[in-house]
Amino acid sequence: MATTSSEVTSAELQEQARRHLWLHFSRMGPYEHGTEIPMITRGEGCYVWDDHGNRYLDALSALFCVNIGHGRADIAQAGADQAAELGFFTTWSYAHPRAVELATKIASLAPGDLNRVFFTSGGGESVETALKVARQYYKLTGHPNKTKIIAREVAYHGTTLGALTATGVTGLRQPFEPFTPGGCHVPNTNLYRLPPGYGEENLAEAIAERIEFEGPETVAAVILEPVQNAGGCFPPPEGYFQRVREICDEYNVLMISDEVICSWGRLGEWFGAQRFGYQPDIITTAKGITSAYAPMGAMIASDRVIEPFLDGNNSFIHGFTFGGHPMAAAVSLANIQAMEDEEVIENVREHEGEFRAMLESLRDIPIVGDVRGVGYFHAIELVKDRETRETFNSEESEHLLRGFLSGELYRRGLICRTDDRGDPVLQFAPPLIAGPEQFAEMEAVLRPVLEEASTMIKAM
């Protein structure tokens, strides 16, 4: 039996995990009845290993996080050095050098006049912060009724009760209602499933129509991801974000670009807004900001947004103890430095075409309906019938994703995401250091597994 530390064996860890660990977003029933909990014990580059010594290609960057790759002792060391110098001090009323340096660095990389950085401990807190900024901004500027948020259907913006207002996944909302009011949803940019008679150009206009419907004097912000994750990597149609920007300006509504996934090189630019050439008022980020070597997030606001908060005795009445934690800030600085020195974003731009081509090459398999995404962030949508684009009912989807694909891909050494928050998809977001060798490995697993899934579906 593999030993995971000097004292605890795999069997003991399993036992303790079953008894004491509450997994996030997980059906834990099967573990109660003996199913083994996947136990990842170490990582290096694009790979991780489990407690039995099995190696996996991490084609999801540990949930879109480990952009620089696993096992970077130098980035960990930056955190250790900082902890020895100043383990913690808060950014409530104080500053410390690493938070200042990191805010300055982020402002230099972020688009346009997004010069003000409010640190958090993760993505949900960043979204929560942005929604609160939007509300208070309008209270300070004489529009106290501007409180509503426009988000997109099936979008995921976090799980705190405020962020859930924006999250557009019914199943994630219903168990916790009621929560903060004011969340309004419009169609996302699922170009594979546009309703009949609905053109790409209608998608941005749907935001204007919703603002009109709600009353412009009640709407504070529009929040959208550059490429929407939930539903399976929906890129925008041409000109979409430019039109959304115009709409936000026309109605005096803040535009929030939720880049918890889409920043830090994921789309081949520091920020997703840069990939599509638009200028948001606020960016929310997390995950890749430290390549997840420490938990951290940030809300980055424009000069215009911070302005009323700088006036007289005003202040943003909001904060988190750990926002801007010195250790996390030092780790983030080291991560960004490594990304620059090692030209990681250039690597994405150089190889994104090959990544896409590998996924496209699977289109001959009947179950592969669509391939979409940008940079190192792609999805395959699975369909029952490629000609009609017929999707699976919930029982079939359950059988296909949870009953077969997710376990089989993992068993064959590939970590990716099987998701059915929208129609069933497989998602891939490898570390940004990945290249053709990893794409070939992915294909070697995906092809036989998807072919088997196709055969299985035909027999159903």
Ligand X SMILES: Cc1ncc(COP(=O)(O)O)c(C=O)c1O
Applying CB under 6 A, the residues found at the interface with ligand X are 122-124, 127, 156-158, 225, 229, 258, 260-261, 286
Q: What is the largest CA-CA distance in the chain?
A: 70
- Which residue number, 99 or 166, has a Cβ lying nearer to ligand X? 166
State the minimum distance, in angstroms, from the CB of residue 312 to ligand X: 33
**Of 208 and 223, which has the nearer Cβ to ligand X?**
223
291: left (phi over 0), alpha (psi -120 to 50) or beta: left
Residue 252 exposed, middle or buried by CB count within 10 Å (0-12, 13-18, 19+): middle
Nearer to ligand X, 254 or 449 (CB): 254
Rounded distance between C-alpha atoms, residue 74 and residue 87, angstroms:
18
In the bound state with ligand X, the residue whose beta carbon lies nearer, of 158 and 182, is 158
Residue 422 C-beta: closest distance to ligand X, Å = 14
Which residue lies nearest ligand X, judged by its C-beta?
123
Q: Which of 421, 387, 427 is nearest to 405 (CA)?
A: 427
Residue holding tokens 């999707």?
391
Q: How many CB atoms lie within 10 A of CB 212?
A: 11
323 vs 369, beta carbon nearer ligand X: 323
CB of 159 to ligand X, least distance (A): 7
Residue whose C-alpha is closest to residue 260's, from 219, 234, 290: 290
Contact in structure between 380 and 364 (CB atoms under 8 Å)? no
Compare residues 13 and 426 and give the one whose CB is closer to ligand X. 426
Query: In 290-376, where do the E strands start and end?
Result: 297-302, 368-374
**Residue 286 or 345 with smaller CB distance to ligand X:** 286
Taking the complex as a whole, how short is the minimal distance between the CB of residue 169 and ligand X, in angstroms? 11
Residue that is written with structure tokens 């606020």 in the block: 282
Work out how close the CB of 158 gets to ligand X at its nearest, in angstroms, rounded to a whole number: 4
Least CB distance to ligand X at residue 431 (A): 16
Q: How far is the CB of 263 from ligand X (least distance, A)?
A: 10
Which is nearer to ligand X, 292 or 450 (by Cβ)? 292
Closest CA to 283 of 253, 309, 307, 263: 263
Nearer to ligand X, 40 or 140 (CB): 40
Cα–Cα separations (whole angstroms), residue 311 to 101, 426, 430: 24, 48, 44
Instruction: Report the amino acid identity of residue 453.
Output: A
For ligand X, the closer of residues 283 and 445 by Cβ is 283
Q: Identify each DSSP E strand in 252-376 by its residue range.
A: 254-258, 282-285, 297-302, 368-374
Q: Would you mind telling me the total number of residues written for the chain in this entry?
A: 460
Helix %, strand %, coil % of the chain (to 5):
45, 15, 40
Question: How many angstroms separate the CA atoms of 253 and 221, rounded?
Answer: 5
Shortest distance, position 225 Cβ to ligand X, whole Å: 5
Minimum distance, C-beta of residue 144 to ligand X, in the bound complex (Å): 27
Which CB atom, from 283 or from 367, has the smaller least distance to ligand X? 283
Shortest Å, Cβ 244 to ligand X: 16
In whole angstroms, how close is the CB of 156 to ligand X at the nearest point? 5
- DSSP assignments along 383-419, one per residue: -SBTTTTB---HHHHIIIIIIIIHHHHHHTTEE-EEE
Residue by residue, DSSP assigns 110-122 as SSTTEEEEEEESS
Nearer to ligand X, 22 or 94 (CB): 22
Quote the least distance from Cβ 435 to ligand X, whole Å: 25
Compute the distance between CA of residue 302 and CA of residue 298 in angstroms, rounded to an integer.
13
- Whole-number Å distance between alpha carbons of 439 and 65: 19
The answer to whether residues 392 and 384 touch, using CB atoms and an 8 Å cutoff, is yes
198 phi, psi to nearest 5 deg: -105, 115
